[in-house]
Chain A
């Protein structure tokens, strides 16, 4: 009987240990910033979802485009209606992998390279970006900043407002992960 209990306990531990390879973040923060001499535009959301497998280095991000909030409501409407067409393309998705992933079970700060594909506005484009992963108490959190060129994703800006919207916008991602249950 004693042996059985030990074994079961061992199994649970093994299971728990395994589960910690996969981490989730249900409130991934995403924001973007467009700077022009005429106008600065920024929008944020904390409704992104992300998952990371620290063993394989796989990464996945998904966010509903219509959850981005702007300071000016009319901009939000135009963003959804005219530029991102969130009726047709409701999600932005990034599927990627850490290039040579470090041992993210150990606490520490890691500079990592990420290789993946961003699907935005119905257009897939490969990206190679850098990110910082901080592991504290066994829980990783990730920060990344990268540039998206609107033309790469076929997001058209009409000539009338071309001075107000930057050709390249800076995207910031913040995710604090917890073990996936």
Chain B
């Protein structure tokens, strides 16, 4: 009989504690951790000129216009060109499209600034990993590749980089791994190991150039952020020395910009030393230097449509 009383008492106590539990605690206990994706590491598929880990979502069309003006200072800048505004170093117009939420493709026409001009580009980007809010996946990783063909008339001089003996001489490629993390809602950082291959290059230049890029964004407000982007190309000393001796020094592209979002449009107002817009050229053929006033205004406009 004693046992029964004890049991009864135990049961009553158990019931009592159960009744005390609030609904809030009950729901809290039930909560399953879901791996929700981290959104908007960047507001656009580009950091400045180079790619961000973002891809377009399924059935999204992105119409993009990028423009680099002429040198702001130095020999070709100053008031006579209205600080470079009278000249256009490079222009790109492109349509890009999301096939799935992780895979996008695009085609673009770029004026080109470097050895080759009249560039037609085909690109693809795939999001391999998506950072999640609970750090189940701590990084976003995307893979980007493009191939570019030049439509320009071949040079008559056989030693020129723009002399095309065969069609394949017109081609160049970029392959890139984009590793990014949104550290806080306002800070995103990105590493970009990059490989550029040009089928035809000038004397002492390199067909293959590896580079490491770094980029980031610091958001000031919900819709305005500061962007930074830098690429360090690994060139052979021999190649660097040759171009230096020729007075055609190569520089590393460094750019800063503002990211401005207005709901559907993303504007970038940029400031950088590279004249070219495509990776195939700005990583390998940047010959203008910040220190000599050879930097320029530029802008990117992105308009996304959901089809």
Contacts and interface: CB of A to CB of B under 8 A. Distances in A.
A95 B40 contact: no
Interface in B7-35: 7-8, 11, 14-15, 18-19, 22-24, 26-27, 30-31, 34
A161 B23 contact: no
Contacts, number: 88
Contacts of B34: 47, 64, 67
Nearest to A88: B185
A38 interface: no
Contacts of A161: 263
Contacts of A158: 223, 262-263
A74 B60 contact: yes
A77 B223 CA distance: 12
A91 to B, nearest CB: 10
A65 B36 CA distance: 11
A107 to B, nearest CB: 23
Given A73-B57, A74-B264, A24 B26 contact: yes
Sort chain B's interface into a size bin.
20 to 34
A15 B15 contact: yes
A145 to B, nearest CB: 22
A72 B15 CA distance: 48
B23 A11 contact: no
B132 to A, nearest CB: 11
A72 B60 CA distance: 9
A80 interface: yes
A128 B225 CA distance: 41
Contacts of B3: 4
A11 B8 contact: yes
A170 interface: no
Contacts of A87: 185
Interface string B222-239: 110000000000000000
B292 interface: no
B193 to A, nearest CB: 27
Contacts of B60: 73-74
6 contacts: A58-B23, A59-B23, A60-B22, A66-B133, A85-B222, A180-B26
Interface of A: 3-4, 7-8, 11, 14-15, 18-19, 22, 24, 26, 47, 49-53, 58-60, 62, 64, 66-67, 71-74, 76-78, 80-82, 85, 87-88, 95, 158, 160-161, 180
Given A8-B7, A14-B15, A22-B26, 4 more contacts: A7-B7, A18-B15, A74-B60, A76-B39
Interface of B: 3-4, 7-8, 11, 14-15, 18-19, 22-24, 26-27, 30-31, 34, 36, 39-40, 57-58, 60, 101, 133, 185, 222-223, 261-264, 304, 306
